[in-house]
Chains A and B, each alone.
Chain A
Amino acid sequence: MDEEYDVIVLGTGLKECILSGLLSVDGLKVLHMDRNDYYGGASTSLNLTQLWKRFRGDDTPAENLGSSREYNVDMIPKFMMANGALVRVLIHTNVTKYLNFKAVDGSFVYNKGKIYKVPATDVEALKSPLMGLFEKRRARKFFIYVQDYETNDPKSHEGLDLNQVTARQLISKYGLEDDTVDFIGHALALHRDDNYLDEPAKDFVDRVKIYAESLARFQGGSPYIYPLYGLGELPQAFARLSAVYGGTYMLNKPECKVEFDENGKAIGVTSEGETAKCKKIVCDPSYLSDKVQKVGKVARAICIMSHPIPDTKDSHSAQVILPQKQLGRKSDMYLFCCSYAHNVAAKGKYIAFVTTEAETDNPEVELKPGIDLLGPVDEIFYDTYDRFEPCNDHEADGCFISTSYDATTHFETTVKDVVELYSKITGKVLDLSVDLSAASAATEE
């Protein structure tokens, strides 16, 4: 330390590591620090010993679970949409060379007490009991409209301005039933509540398109992919990108204290008696807690099991969406499951998560509808964490704070935050219009 940098990044969460990578590639001198001795911050993946230490207060996990290092338990469970924004970032930065992915086996939705597969093909859709025959015809017309819709092609709009028309109005034009609307809005567009119905339909349509395109990408049973060894691989991959382009990494730096000048402008970071100077600070909310405000809370349960989630056709990886209306809540609840097939657990073990935006202070009671769907559980850990948003003036203080991870099942909001932060930090727009159809298979390394 005791050096001068363009940017000091605090916290090695996924957002911070993506930004560190992008800024280093841009030629900025970056110092990246974390108070923990591991990468990932709030979005890390923990081994068994770390999991026990964090949630049980001791470092002696149950012996029958296998070796600690075989576990990579995600702290922010999400799947990647195969055609989504995070994949574009990975391709844009060429970070895919550090990672391996598998398609997620299945995506399911909870309806009237039962779990149904979200259809991945036309054939599955026709057979699915989620809709009656006549409803299927109406839904098909809707899907064709969505599929054909192109922002720059007025003909495909069929006389509707999706920036004006609400989602509710669009849906009623196709005469869809409430159950179908619920299904499309929550299981395909992945909205967490019903606020989208009264907002312009553009976002809703775009989301359904991403889902369909992601489904088509790998012909898997779902639109998602997931990295081997868990999501903790992602921040590590971006950290390596940063390091290859000159970024300096310091883990295990306690009390990273941001220093300000008399005008309230950030000028550096002090840790263990040494100060590194910089022009800008990038960090997660925990490093500048007086410059963020609480905007919500996430409740979650982490479970170790010896079987897949029941009624998911023995999926080694699966997502189950429990729409809020089915549960009488304000927000959806999600189940998320991965297993030894992804090198995140010992042989024969599965890791399942139940996640939702918290509406009470009692996660055990609140998460029960999701946990009941899991069947027998070997170990369970409950947790809640607050979500924060920055409330500082970054032009005045030079601090760029990321927003906490939400309870969504994917990374679209994560990348949106990164793109916005990048623009604020550099004044440049990040062009992620990677042409996926033009990308060729990676050359032999």
Chain B
Amino acid sequence: MATVSPLAKYKLVFLGDQSVGKTSIITRFMYDKFDTTYQATIGIDFLSKTMYLEDRTVRLQLWDTAGQERFRSLIPSYIRDSSVAVIVYDVANRQSFLNTNKWVEEVRTERGSDVIIVLVGNKTDLVDKRQVSIEEGDAKSREFGIMFIETSAKAGFNIKPLFRKIAAALPGMETLSSTKQEDMVDVNLKPTVNSSQTEQQGGGCSC
């Protein structure tokens, strides 16, 4: 019988200016729905999804900013230990495209070359309001040496391909650089009562 390797887990973080559609991309991918009422992100923490590829299965952990990017107050630990940074801009908002330089820089500062970066131009459904061409997005991604794709969370365009593209680019288990799990302690773990302690209690239960 073939050995079943442990499920690889990858932390994906979403970055980009406020209201470019980061949360909508996540909810479209997770639940295949779109909320037309915009409200600055409240309530989404991180969500997990298993993807079944041709040659393996991967577990994606999708982290949303919880709105902390609004006043440039993201916690540094948000980016830490991430495998993928998805940097989103709004094709109908040129400033959000120009600001992606800062987000790429932030990721590189925190993660060096240990992270896959994907540039995502969202809201392609706003055809008449487009301010950033696909050629410009592609050129910037080449300049930074990162992946690129355009999407529309509202229309459901290219969302699944985005995540398939990411999953295909993920390194296998053997190259994961995460900390050895055996050294960690689980704070929620039930305590172990050692034998000498039980002995001292005269076999009594302290509960």
Chain A interface residues toward B at CB < 8 A: 38-39, 69, 82-83, 87, 90-91, 96, 98-103, 121-122, 143-144, 147-148, 213, 216-220, 225, 228-229, 233, 236-237, 239-240, 243-246, 248-252, 341, 343, 436-442, 444-445
Tell me whether A101 and B188 are in contact (CB under 8 A).
no
A122 cross-chain contacts in B, Cβ below 8 A: 196
Give the residue of B65, B71, B185, B186 whose beta carbon is less than 8 angstroms from that of A442. Answer: B186
Give the residue of A148, A249, A441 whose beta carbon is less than 8 angstroms from that of B68. Answer: A249
Question: Given A98-B77, A148-B201, A229-B80, A248–B185 Cβ distance below 8 Å?
Answer: no
Tell me whether A101 and B187 are in contact (CB under 8 A).
yes
Tell me whether A220 and B188 are in contact (CB under 8 A).
no
B187 cross-chain contacts in A, Cβ below 8 A: 87, 90-91, 96, 99, 101, 225
Interface stretch, picked from B44-52, B125-133, B165-173, is B44-52
Interface residues of A, dominant DSSP: mixed
State how many angstroms separate the Cβ of A409 from the closest Cβ of chain B.
18
State how many angstroms separate the Cβ of B37 from the closest Cβ of chain A.
16
B45 cross-chain contacts in A, Cβ below 8 A: 240, 244
When A and B form their complex, which 5 residue pairs have the shortest distance between CB atoms, in order from nearest? A243-B66, A249-B73, A236-B75, A251-B73, A250-B71
Tell me whether A244 and B179 are in contact (CB under 8 A).
no
Tell me whether A436 and B72 are in contact (CB under 8 A).
no
Tell me whether A144 and B192 are in contact (CB under 8 A).
no
- A38 to B61 Cα, complex, angstroms: 26
State how many angstroms separate the Cβ of A211 from the closest Cβ of chain B.
13
Tell me whether A245 and B43 are in contact (CB under 8 A).
yes
State how many angstroms separate the Cβ of A127 from the closest Cβ of chain B.
14
Interface string of B64-105 (1 = CB under 8 A from A): 011110111101111010000000000000000000000000
Question: Which of B109, B179, B188, B192 has most A Cβ within 10 Å?
Answer: B188
Tell me whether A229 and B71 are in contact (CB under 8 A).
no
Tell me whether B76 and A147 are in contact (CB under 8 A).
no
B46 cross-chain contacts in A, Cβ below 8 A: 445
Interface residues of B, dominant DSSP: loop
Tell me whether B183 and A102 are in contact (CB under 8 A).
yes
Tell me whether A228 and B190 are in contact (CB under 8 A).
no
B194 cross-chain contacts in A, Cβ below 8 A: 121, 216, 219
- A252 to B72 Cα, complex, angstroms: 9
A252 cross-chain contacts in B, Cβ below 8 A: 72-73
Question: Given A101-B184, A251-B71, A216–B192 Cβ distance below 8 Å?
Answer: yes
State how many angstroms separate the Cβ of A391 from the closest Cβ of chain B.
31
Tell me whether B44 and A441 are in contact (CB under 8 A).
no
Give the residue of B48, B188, B192 whose beta carbon is less than 8 angstroms from that of A96. Answer: B188
Tell me whether A239 and B75 are in contact (CB under 8 A).
yes
Nearest B residue to A150, CB-CB: B206
Nearest B residue to A243, CB-CB: B66
State how many angstroms separate the Cβ of B89 from the closest Cβ of chain A.
22
Tell me whether B185 and A240 are in contact (CB under 8 A).
no
Residue B42 at the chain A interface, CB threshold 8 Å: yes
Give the residue of A69, A233, A240, A436 whose beta carbon is less than 8 angstroms from that of B66. Answer: A240
Question: Which of B45, B184, B185, B190 has most A Cβ within 10 Å?
Answer: B185
Give the residue of B43, B48, B109 whose beta carbon is less than 8 angstroms from that of A69. Answer: B109
Nearest B residue to A80, CB-CB: B187
25 residue pairs from A and B, CB less than 8 Å apart: A69-B110, A82-B185, A91-B187, A91-B188, A96-B188, A100-B179, A102-B183, A143-B200, A144-B200, A147-B200, A216-B194, A218-B189, A219-B194, A228-B184, A233-B77, A244-B66, A246-B42, A248-B70, A250-B73, A251-B72, A436-B191, A439-B188, A439-B189, A440-B190, A441-B190
Residue B193 at the chain A interface, CB threshold 8 Å: yes
Residue B207 at the chain A interface, CB threshold 8 Å: yes
B109 cross-chain contacts in A, Cβ below 8 A: 69
Tell me whether A121 and B196 are in contact (CB under 8 A).
yes
Tell me whether B184 and A100 are in contact (CB under 8 A).
yes
Residue B175 at the chain A interface, CB threshold 8 Å: no
Tell me whether A240 and B190 are in contact (CB under 8 A).
no
Nearest A residue to B187, CB-CB: A96
Question: Given A100-B179, A236-B77, A245-B43, A441–B71 Cβ distance below 8 Å?
Answer: no
Tell me whether A219 and B192 are in contact (CB under 8 A).
yes
Nearest A residue to B73, CB-CB: A249
State how many angstroms separate the Cβ of A92 from the closest Cβ of chain B.
11
B197 cross-chain contacts in A, Cβ below 8 A: 147, 216
State how many angstroms separate the Cβ of B166 from the closest Cβ of chain A.
18
Interface string of B23-49 (1 = CB under 8 A from A): 000000000000000000011111010
Nearest B residue to A316, CB-CB: B183
- A91 to B186 Cα, complex, angstroms: 11
Tell me whether A228 and B179 are in contact (CB under 8 A).
yes
Interface string of B136-166 (1 = CB under 8 A from A): 0000000000000000000000000000000
- A240 to B80 Cα, complex, angstroms: 14
- A249 to B45 Cα, complex, angstroms: 16
- A101 to B207 Cα, complex, angstroms: 26
